[in-house]
Amino acid sequence: MAETDSAAQAATSHAFEAEVDRLLDLVVHAVYSDRELFLRELVSNAADACEKLRFEARRNDALLKDDPDLRITILPDAGNGTLEISDNGIGMSREDLQQNLGTIARSGTRAFVEALHAGEEAKNLIGRFGIGFYSAFMVADRVEVLSRRAGEEQGHRWSSTGSGAFEIASADDAPSRGTRVILHLKENAREFAEEHRLEHVIRSHSGHVPIPIRLGKDGAFREITDGSALWLKPKSEISADDYADFYRHVGGQFDEPSITIHYSAEGRQAYHVLLFVPSERPFDLFDPERKGRVRLYVRRVFITDEADLLPSYLRFVRGLVDSDDLPLNISREMLQESPMLSQIKKGITNRVVSELKKRAEKEPEGYLKIWQTFGNVLKEGLYEDFERRGDLLELARFRTTKSGEDWRSLKEIVADFRENQSAIYYVTADSHAQAAASPQLEGFRARDIEVILLSDPVDHFWARMAPEFDGKPFRSITQGAADISNIPRAAAAEDGDEAPTSDVATLAALVKQTLGDVVGEVRPSDRLAESPVCLVAKEGALDRRLERMIRRQENNQIPGTAPDLELNPRHRLIRHLSAEAAKGGASERLADAAWLLWDEAAILEGEAPSDPAAFAARLTRLLLPSEPQG
């Protein structure tokens, strides 16, 4: 048994995953303009380890008993060319070392590599892609990690040169608790073994880490940050740089916060809030497995960052909430059910939405940048959050048939309604260009009616769920009857004769008879001005593009609804076919024309003909010259 235990603790060598190996090679050999950011990453890791220990000690106070004062220590050694960053936090076991320091999420690594090849700077990449610990290889040609998990007897050593493999072995010289990271600095990075250089970097990038940081050598230390809680200080004592520095620490970002929300709530629940709206999109914004980015503290003790403190459509917000009233021993189950936490969530959600509205009103250009970055996420709230839907609709900005490259609010759109207009019109498509080219827009353009162009996947869902804005209902221009005949056409759109109503009715009846159940209703169109035909969904049915999206997801297991076909009485082709139908009734030529009109309408929507062979045969027959009579 002793031999077995000894073998289990022997040094073992492991290869990094292939993508990690590639990433490390890029980190080591790429030229970075801001290498000092590695220290901020290692200090943040150390602070997180200390906060995790505080959390664990709530259930087992023996973990802190022998060494209760948590701290981060920076030890430079210019003579030996080393730099040590140590903490007396939670520490890591052998398994922790292998999992935490030997693996990077595949998607994050791939995105990092692609971004690096695209020429993005290191300061953006580290924060966006979470390479964290691995940034040490920017300045070190060898890294050692000595660690002992709190409550365990055996310590371990992790070491690597960043060249494709790492080694883990038992280590009796590991700290009694916590972690020591020892960097063997490259010759061109010896500046990071100088105290004055380190102090400048720490104060610049980690000055508000909530764990005291001390710097020194030979047993002589001086405290350069006190670990005070920035969120408990009066706003008048905090500079913009202080906020930005803390945002980068707590959010893992390297951009500037576009909005800072700092306040204390009193009353039934007392809590302190420090939240940030980023200016750049986090790389994991649409990762279905992503965790929360708002930390929960109770009286300055870190509890969790998975407390679901904001709705998912505000998942880009970073920061923390520190409660005075929640119990320190709150469990995960209590977090899920706590009415106190529900009140906090409601309060901070209302505050974030309110701050966004203030920015939209007072600094519309600055708010527009936020919308362009996070608008497609905020729109999720339009169908998720009934309570705040009105506020979110006020925040929404859209491209329209009149806006060009600009963005319009619903308030501006409603203010420019045409005479007799009673609804807000929109069209959904897979891209902005496709939406702008929709044939269903023609009649609206002819009447100078503004239509919202929607192309985000989320638009298919919220538009059906939002009943109105300012008393005006939302209506899809590809669904139901257009109902715009009472809005006058622009003078320039009045040209062109219209086929007699009776002739169009005859053609519509013939087309319906020919197509059968493939089509719903066939009728003259108010919404067309240039195209001969278009397809529209029935009133109350799913929008055509939403239906196609759902059917693709369900592998066409859900039956579709037959759409209506609309004919443009002003179009030369429809006038000609209407006259022919009125004279001769049904014929093979008109039957072919009916199917070709159907296929043309589908092609205008970006679809292929339902039967390409039959489509080609009909088109060929139509193009052939008529056979001479007897």
Numbered residues of the known binding site:
41, 45, 87, 92, 100, 107-108, 179, 332
Contact present, 57 and 49 (Cβ < 8 Å) = no
End-to-end CA distance of the chain: 106
**Token pair of 496, please?**
């062109």
Q: Yes or no: say if 529 and 440 are a contact pair by the CB < 8 Å rule.
A: no
Pairing status of strand 522-524 against strand 564-567: parallel
The gap from C-alpha 349 to its chain's centroid, in whole angstroms, comes to 18
- Hey, what amino acid is at 577? L
- Written as six digits, the tokens of 551 are 């059917």
CA distance 216 to 152: 28
Rg of the chain over Cα atoms, rounded to whole angstroms, equals 33
Question: Helix or strand or coil: residue 323?
Answer: strand
Question: Which residues are documented as binding site for ATP?
Answer: 41, 45, 87, 92, 100, 107-108, 179, 332
Torsion 318-322-325-326 (CA) sign: positive
Helix axes 37-57, 240-251, angle to 10 degrees: 70
Dihedral sign of CA atoms 278, 282, 285, 286 in order: positive
CB neighbour burial string for 232-253, b if at least 16 within 10 angstroms, e if fewer? eeeeeebeeeebbbbbbbbbbb
In sequence order, which residues have a C-beta less than 8 Å from that of residue 244 and are 6 or more positions away?
256, 257
Question: Of 253, 251, 193, 198, whose CA–CA distance to 224 is shortest?
Answer: 198
Distance, CA of 395 to CA of 332 (rounded, Å): 34
Two tokens, residue 304: 């969790």
Q: Which residues face 397 on adjacent strands?
A: 409
Distance CA 2, CA 7 (A): 9
Secondary structure in 3-state letters for 571-595:
CHHHHHHHHHHHHHCCCHHHHHHHH
- Taking residue 201's Cβ as centre, other Cβ atoms within 10 Å add up to 20
Q: For residue 249, report the phi and psi dihedrals to the nearest 5 degrees.
A: -70, -55
Q: How far apart are CA 116 and CA 431, in angstroms?
A: 28
Determine the Cα–Cα distance for residues 532 and 525; give it in Å rounded to an integer.
9
Q: How far apart are CA 2 and CA 402, in angstroms?
A: 80
Handedness of CA 36, 41, 42, 48 (dihedral sign): positive
Strand order across the beta sheet in which 294-298 lies: 259-265, 271-277, 318-323, 294-298, 301-304
Residue 546 C-beta-side C-alpha neighbours within 13 Å: 19
- DSSP-assigned letters across all residues of 187-242: GGGGGGGSHHHHHHHHHHHSTT-SS-EEEEETTEEEEEE----GGGS-GGG--HHH
Distance CA 521, CA 519 (A): 6
For 363, the enclosing helix (H) or strand (E) is: none
| 605, amino acid identity | E
